[in-house]
Chains A and B, each alone.
Chain A
Amino acid sequence: AQKVTQAQTEISVVEKEDVTLDCVYETRDTTYYLFWYKQPPSGELVFLIRRNSFDEQNEISGRYSWNFQKSTSSFNFTITASQVVDSAVYFCALREGSGAGSYQLTFGKGTKLSVIP
């Protein structure tokens, strides 16, 4: 069965510091998708990124970057020069398979990030 572990429950950083959120996953599938979602205090989950299991290329989007390493089953998320608006709960999620029946997301328990001004 699939599993996602976010070992960091809460992190606090001072504004402008860099911060990395860890995500480790378990799956028996060779085809799978990994996601990061952001849940700000308003509560609505916001999609940030998706990676598929065949693409280990790291990605950078502005201040956000993601490091996907199949060898360690990790998909870590780094925020550079953090800002107060980055304060939120961040969820890592896994979706197995590629067929039409493979659909549900398995979420980690989330990491609450607080950026202190």
Chain B
Amino acid sequence: GAGVSQSPSNKVTEKGKDVELRCDPISGHTALYWYRQSLGQGLEFLIYFQGNSAPDKSGLPSDRFSAERTGGSVSTLTIQRTQQEDSAVYLCASSYLGGTPGEQFFGPGTRLTVL
């Protein structure tokens, strides 16, 4: 009965390095979302995956950000050449679109600190 899990829980990196953040959605959930929570900006949508459809990347802030979802399950958010403004908590959520619209279950987040 696991919920959404994310790893690592904390990541400290140096400016310019690449980082990968992982999300394991709830089993059976077809939709997966990434959000970013930063001070002063609240929660911002980044990207959405639904089944085998092309992902909606409209929320990604720059081309340094990318994400993939393998086998319709685990997702990885990659940030290349990290900048200090990338420091934030990255939240993953999943939902079952066959159920009630929009109810998303969130993971605990990955706190990214770029030095």
Contacting pair B91 A45 (CB below 8 A): yes
Could you say which interface size class chain A belongs to?
20 to 34
Cβ of A32 to closest chain B Cβ, rounded Å: 9
**A111, B106: Cα distance in complex, Å:** 18
Cβ of B60 to closest chain A Cβ, rounded Å: 12
With A45-B91, A105-B102 in contact, do A91 and B33 touch (Cβ < 8 Å)? no
Of B50, B59, B100, which is within 8 A of A50 by CB?
B100
Cβ of A89 to closest chain B Cβ, rounded Å: 10
Contacting pair B45 A105 (CB below 8 A): yes
Decide if B115 is an interface residue (CB 8 Å cutoff): no
Residue-wise, chain A 84-105 has the 8 Å CB interface mask toward B (1 for contact) of 0000000101010010111111
Cβ of A43 to closest chain B Cβ, rounded Å: 6
With A33-B102, A44-B109, A95-B101 in contact, do A104 and B48 touch (Cβ < 8 Å)? yes
Residue-wise, chain B 26-47 has the 8 Å CB interface mask toward A (1 for contact) of 0000010101000001111100
Q: Which residue numbers of B lie inside 8 Å of A, CB to CB?
A: 31, 33, 35, 41-45, 48, 50, 56, 59, 89, 91, 93, 97, 100-109
Q: Which residue numbers of A lie inside 8 Å of B, CB to CB?
A: 33, 35, 37, 42-47, 50, 52, 91, 93, 95, 98, 100-110
**13 more CB-based (< 8 A) A-B contacts, given A33-B102, A103-B33:** A33-B101, A43-B89, A44-B107, A45-B91, A45-B93, A50-B100, A95-B101, A95-B102, A103-B97, A103-B102, A104-B45, A107-B35, A107-B42
